[in-house]
Structure 1
Amino acid sequence: MPPAIDRGLSFRAFLPNAVTALALCFGLTGIRFGFAGDWEKALASIIIAGVLDGLDGRIARMLRAQSKFGAELDSLSDNIAFGTAPALIIFFWSLREAPKFGWTVSLALAVCCALRLARYNARIDADEQPHKSAGFNTGVPAPAGAGLAFVPILLWLISDNALFRSWTLVMPWTLFVAALMISSLPTYSWSSIRIRRSWRIFALAGVALLGAALINEPWITLLLICLTYLASVPMSMAAYAKVKRRRASQTVGGQSLP
């Protein structure tokens, strides 16, 4: 029997992996700008990495090009772009001034991001995933965690107030964000968002306005997005509790009486 001919990697499978690799490059570029003290470009690099991370999976599903290789590459890219890079940027921006434990707290952010991704990968084929089956994430996703970790930097860029750069403020905030990433809190995912048909035109107008705001006032807009997401966490917990109660009542109602 003649050996199988290696026809190489199709463009359909190559495209989403290329987007993931590009996100990884922007994450590493954010580290480079952080070393140079160019904080605006450092944040911009991580934000672009987040946009690309949101695109690669959708491109893969659209092209039906999901693969084990792509999933592993995506996890590696997320770990560097949203764990290692933000941890280093925050350390050189503020936490290196801490007399003790500054580096430890930066490590906590990076390690918690890695643990969150490892937990996600370990459960990806599990049959029992209550949060995912209801359209929720478990804990704060890595890109959202990176955005929340940058809230003090955004406040500093907007106000130029040295208070927001103080390690006494940045250290507990960083630990709080790290805890959110490895928590078991149900948080909203894109799959849980449904836009009514009558609201679609308004949603498109809102996206256009959001794009204009990002161009004109990027740091204020990003801060508002981060704070809105943080405020949605209690709402997502309440929404998931409602789903659990509905499921429990359906289970009890579906049981046959003796």
Structure 2
Amino acid sequence: MSDLFPPFIPDPEEPRRRRFRPIPLRLLVPNVITLLALCLGLTAIRMAIESRLDIAVFAILLAAVLDAADGRVARMLKGTSRFGAELDSLSDFVNFGVAPALLLYTFILDEMKSLGWIAAMVYAIAAALRLARFNVMLDDPERPDWQKNYFVGMAAPAGALTVLLPIYLHFIVWPVSEVAAPVVAIYTVFIGLLMVSRIPTFSGKTLGQRVARDMVLPLFVLVVLVAALLVSFTFHVLAIITLVYLVSLPFGVIRYRALDRAHSEQVAATAGVPEEKAELGDQ
């Protein structure tokens, strides 16, 4: 019987095949940053369950900082990948969709029972829809370059830090009681609607690429000042930034429409279309 099934003896001269191709380190670094942000988002959920609101807010804030860093690091190291983009979207949904919704529910929305839970779900679902639309728009080849400076709707990290405004006020102005639960629920749904809306918001992706030489030292001082204020007066600074951001949204819309009008006129002039026809087409 041994002759029927002779043992296989590999050729010692044959080079050993590699089952897996080595992955460059530059591709791993951005994904590690994304995973660290995901860990912070999951920690925020745990802190929300344990009613440790301040630590939960800090975790979401640090997750937003890491989320802003991983994309820039990926572009600097030329380590962008489809896997990294998908991982970033899943991480953003947990960090800026699920975690803030659960945090607000355990904070005050649970006073409204099912209505409070519905408000939290509306926000979380809006975050998921906003991220899905963002991924689709990345593949749009006809999108002008200037539109890359704007998001369609409020970005997920900005929405997460903005929707937590009632918690900031709770720590610095007045304790939020159950009477304010309906107001918080309406505000939560409002931020969710802003995330899925078509309102253009400034992305800030082009900031920091080039800095004038005479502005380097003042920029360092400004960064240190903001960091010191954020550490010493965290909720005060977050509340002020949130209010300023909400007030600045209409100005972003006005700027976007002006750029869009100028782009339409430039396209019409390039194509040889009379300006009157171009304006009629816009109407």
Query: What is the TM-score normalised by the length of structure 1?
Result: 0.92
SS at match of 2:79: coil
1:6 aligns with 2:20: yes
Query: What's the offset of the Cα at 1:205?
Result: 2.3
Q: Max radius of gyration: which structure?
A: 2
Gaps of 5+ in 2: 1-13, 275-283
1:191 paired residue among 191, 199, 205: 205
Corresponding letter in the other structure for 1:36:
E
Q: Which residue of 1 aligns with 2:94?
A: 80
1:226 aligns with 2:242: yes
Q: Which residue of 1 aligns with 2:70?
A: 56
Moved more, 221-230 or 138-147: 221-230
SS at match of 1:162: coil
Change (3 A) 1:131 1:256: closer
1:146 aligns with 2:160: yes
Q: Which residue of 1 aligns with 2:36?
A: 22
Q: Which residue of 1 aligns with 2:4?
A: none
Gaps of 5+ in 1: none
Query: What's the offset of the Cα at 1:137?
Result: 0.9
Q: 1:90-101 counterparts in 2 under 5 A?
A: 90-101=104-115
Q: Which residue of 1 aligns with 2:261?
A: 245
d(CA) in 2 for partners of 1:13, 1:104: 39
d(CA) in 1 for partners of 2:99, 2:148: 31
Instruction: Name the Cα RMSD after superposition.
Output: 2.2
d(CA) in 2 for partners of 1:135, 1:4: 43
Deviations 1:150-182 (A, max 9, x none): 000000011243359721210110011000110
Q: Which residue of 1 aligns with 2:277?
A: none
Change (3 A) 1:257 1:137: closer
Q: Which residue of 1 aligns with 2:3?
A: none
Corresponding letter in the other structure for 1:175:
V
CA contact (8 A) 2:108 2:177 kept: no
Query: What's the offset of the Cα at 1:79?
Result: 0.3
CA contact (8 A) 1:151 1:226 kept: yes
Hey, which of these two has a bigger chunk of helix by percent?
A: 1
Identity among equivalent pairs (%): 36
Change (3 A) 1:183 1:25: same
Deviations 1:92-115 (A, max 9, x none): 111110144111110001000000
Number of residue equivalences: 258
Query: What is the TM-score normalised by the length of structure 2?
Result: 0.84
**Any runs of at least 4 consecutive aligned residues in structure 1 with deviations exceeding 6 A, and if so which?**
none
Q: Which residue of 1 aligns with 2:182?
A: 168
1:104 aligns with 2:118: yes
d(CA) in 1 for partners of 2:134, 2:221: 34
CA contact (8 A) 1:134 1:243 kept: no
